[in-house]
Structures are given as C-alpha cells and as structure tokens.
Amino acid sequence: MFLGLAELRHAPGRFVVLGVVLGLLVALMTALATIADRHVTDLTGKVATSPADLLVLDAAAQGALQASRIDDEAAAHVRQHAAGAELAPVGEQRMGARVADGELLDLSLWGLDPDSPAAPEVIAGRLPRQPGEAVLDVADRAQGAALGERLTLVDTGTVLEIVGFTAEARFGAIPTAAVTYDAWTEIAAEAADADPDEVEPTAMAVRADGGVEELAAALNGSSSPVQAAPPSSLASQLPGVAGVRASFGLLLGVAWMAVAAVAATFAVAGVAHRQRTIALLRAVGAPRRRLLAALTVQLLVVTAVGAVLAALLVVLAAWLAPADVPLRWEPGTWAASAAVALAATLMASAVAVVRLARVAPVDALGARR
C-alpha cells in the first residue's frame, strides 16, 4: 500500500491526467443519470404523483393523454365497474401562457378538483378552489412564478392567480398548472370555441377501498373502451419515457465500459513501464501480493480523486446550466456513479494483475524483455 502511495507522490503527473480523465467520465455518468431521472420526472411527474389509485384513459389513446377523451360510453363503463369507488374527472390541455408579463410559455393546464382523488399535493400555499386560481409546479419559479403572481392564458385571455405550488409535478417537460375541473372546462371550451357541456374529461381518477388490481382488471376487460392503470404504471407508459430510459441506460453502459477500459489501459501500461522495477522488487523478495496491492491502491486513489473532481464539475455544471437543462446536483446519483466507477476500476485492474503476475524475478537481469 505504502509502495503505491509513494509512487503517487514521486511521479504524480500521469496520475493527475488519469484522475482528470476518470473525473470527466464519472461526471459524465452522474450528469447522464441525473438528466435521465429529471427528464422523466419532468415528462411524467404530474401523472406519477397523482394520489389516485387508478387513472383511466380512453383505450384508443394508447396511453397518450393528449389523445384521450372520456366520452359518455367510457364514463358509464367506469361507473358500472367501479361502483362504490370514488371517481373524479381529470382534464389536460396545452396552452400558451405568461407568468406576470414574462415571455410566452407552453403550459400544460390541468383540471383537478381539490377534494377529489385527483387532487394534487401542494408544498406551498393551497389548492385552487375558485375559478380564477391556479397552482404551478415549484420548478416553474424559474419562469418568475410566485404566490400571488398572475398567470395569463394567452389562448383565452384568462387571468389566474397563483395560490400554491406543487413539487415534481410537471408534465411534458413544460410549465404545468392546475385549476379546478370546472374552471378547466370553461377554459377548454373557450379555447375550442365550444360549449362547456361538450368538453369531455381527458381521464378519470379512481380511489378504491382496496382491491385496486381487481378493479383495474375489471375496467380493462375485453373490448373495454378504457385503459385503467395505477399512476406510476401509466407514467412509465407515457410517450417518450421508455425511449429516454433506454437511451440514457445505453449511454451509461458505454460510459461504464469506457471507465473500465481507461483504467485497464493505464494499469497495463504502468506495469509494462515498470516491468524491470517490479522484477527487481520480486527478486529481492517482495511478495507478489504486495505489488498487486500497490497497483490496486493507486487505481483506487486515482478513481476516488476523479470522483471528487467529478462532484465539483457536476456542481459547477448544474450552477451554470440554463433553466431548461434538467441538471441538478444530486449526491445520491453521484455516489452511485462513483461506486460504479470504482467497481469498473477494480475489474480493470484484474487485467493488469494478470500481466504483473507474469513478471518473473529473473526479468530484473534483463534476460527477458
């Protein structure tokens, strides 16, 4: 161990370069994992955080909220199979909006009744109870949202007062607001130039007293006009989610292999560079185990230094990143990435161990080169 640390102190240059490379790779892994998590939360949070036991969509919408409408037939089907359960309509529509006099934003506007199974949880302020009130997600503070501030829906000219904030409840990775369902119906009707009675809910929220799986199975029976699923399950089926998870998972896998390959390259080159020194140490009686430990310690120390560097880089990047880049400093994700990098480094050191094990004491005499 001391041998390994002594060499680190004696010739720090190449260890510094390796530490920087590993640090960048760990930072990359941390950023990829964080971005993937945050992006999925931004895409699906409003659905995933729904307190309902089940959300019911139009079967033909194939899990896409924007394509879903619960018509009379579907609503009757839900009422028939969910007798005794608490039901509430849910509305979702995309609109143009301005916070105060800020720039024009794309907004996902939800209609959710405050005392229903669909009611969102607020972390500040309160739920909307009047037609002119709305809650926004706390992430939208970056757009200037604050309690008491105005939210203007450009499509209809409706002015809403922000009375509360939700957390991790965005939808479609855009600013997300919720009003009462009746207020949403009025707004949706005005935007579509239709009568409020013609506006159908996008989905229905169901709260059951147990037997959720059985209820879902009953609602999803053959030729059912609806698709019922728990919010978390529905969130994972929303458009784009599977792609984001699979894509970033793929990239993380490649990054992990890159860490292992870089560490292995360095370790093998290190053994080749010091072959005669290692052979001499073997010739004067240094056990092979001790030399292996020195090599492993060097790799672990450099990876640990790289991980610390990665933490600094991610903190800096999160601080500098624009608001629409979902990068945050999340210690858990960084720790997981650093642990994975350490594991990759240990695996990589096995390649060098094989090479080191082949170094014979006689090599010290230069007989084999």
Is residue 59 near another protein by the rule CB under 8 A? Answer: yes
Q: How far is the CB of 61 from another protein (least distance, A)?
A: 6
Q: Which residues of 216-246 are buried (b: 16+ CB within 10 A; e: fewer)?
A: beebbeeebbbbbbbbeebbbbbeebeebee
Is residue 247 involved in binding another protein (CB under 8 A)?
A: yes
Listed ranges 109-117, 141-149, 195-203, 330-338: which one lies at the site for another protein (CB under 8 A): 195-203
Residue found by looking up tokens 């005669």 in the block: 276
Question: Can residue 155 be called a binding residue for another protein (CB under 8 A)?
Answer: yes
C-alpha–C-alpha distance, residues 305 and 12, integer Å: 12
Q: Does 130 bind another protein (CB under 8 A)?
A: no
Residue of 111, 109, 102, 86 lying closest to 141 (CA atoms): 102
Tokens describing residue 158: 């409706």
Consecutive H or E run containing 136: strand 133-137
| Structure token pair of residue 233 | 């399950």
Decide whether 64 or 336 has the Cβ nearer to another protein: 64
Binders of another protein among 168-187, rule CB under 8 A?
172-174
Shortest CB 234 distance to another protein, Å: 14
Question: Pairing state of beta strands 150-153 and 203-207?
Answer: unpaired
Is residue 261 at the binding interface for another protein, with CB under 8 A as the rule? Answer: yes
If one asks whether residue 198 binds another protein (CB under 8 A), the answer comes out as yes
- Closest to another protein by CB, 212 or 265: 265
Candidate ranges 47-55, 134-142, 247-255, 297-305; the one touching another protein (CB under 8 A): 247-255
- Judged by CB under 8 A, the residue of 1, 159, 217, 272 near another protein is 272
Q: Going by C-beta distance under 8 Å and a sequence separation of 6 or more, which residues neighbour residue 139?
A: 42, 168, 170, 175
User: Which residue lies nearer to another protein by CB, 130 or 277?
Assistant: 277
Residue number with CB closer to another protein (208 or 229): 229
Is residue 148 at the binding interface for another protein, with CB under 8 A as the rule?
no
| Alpha carbon separation from 3 to 47, 278, 281, 326 (Å, rounded) | 56, 11, 11, 44
Contact call for residue 240 and another protein (CB under 8 A): yes
Residue type for position 138: V
Rounded distance, CA 224 to CA 233, Å? 18
The one-character DSSP state at 288 is H
Closer residue to another protein, CB minimum distance, 20 or 147: 20
Query: Minimum CB separation from another protein for residue 351, in Å?
Result: 7
Q: Examine residue 192 and tell whether it contacts another protein (CB under 8 A).
A: yes
User: Which of 136, 208, 255, 353 lies at the binding interface for another protein (CB under 8 A)?
Assistant: 255
Restricting to residues 306-325, name those near another protein by CB under 8 A: 317, 321-322, 324-325
Residue 171: closest CA among 93, 88, 98: 93
| Near another protein by CB under 8 A: residue from 25, 85, 119, 299 | 25
DSSP per-residue letters across 186-211? HHHHHHHT--GGGPPPSEEEEE-SS-
Positions in 65-104 near another protein (CB under 8 A): 66-67, 69, 71, 94-96, 104
Among 4, 21, 52, 204, binds another protein (CB under 8 A): 21
Three-state secondary structure call for residue 55: strand
Does 188 bind another protein (CB under 8 A)? Our answer is yes
Residue 250 interacting with another protein (CB under 8 A) = yes
Quick one: how far is CA 240 from the chain centroid? 13
Nearest to another protein of 167, 318 (CB atom): 318
Number of residues that bind another protein (CB under 8 A): 76
**∠ Cα 156 162 166 (to 5°):** 115
Q: In terms of Cα–Cα distance, which of 267, 237, 111 is closest to 180?
A: 111
Q: Does 351 bind another protein (CB under 8 A)?
A: yes
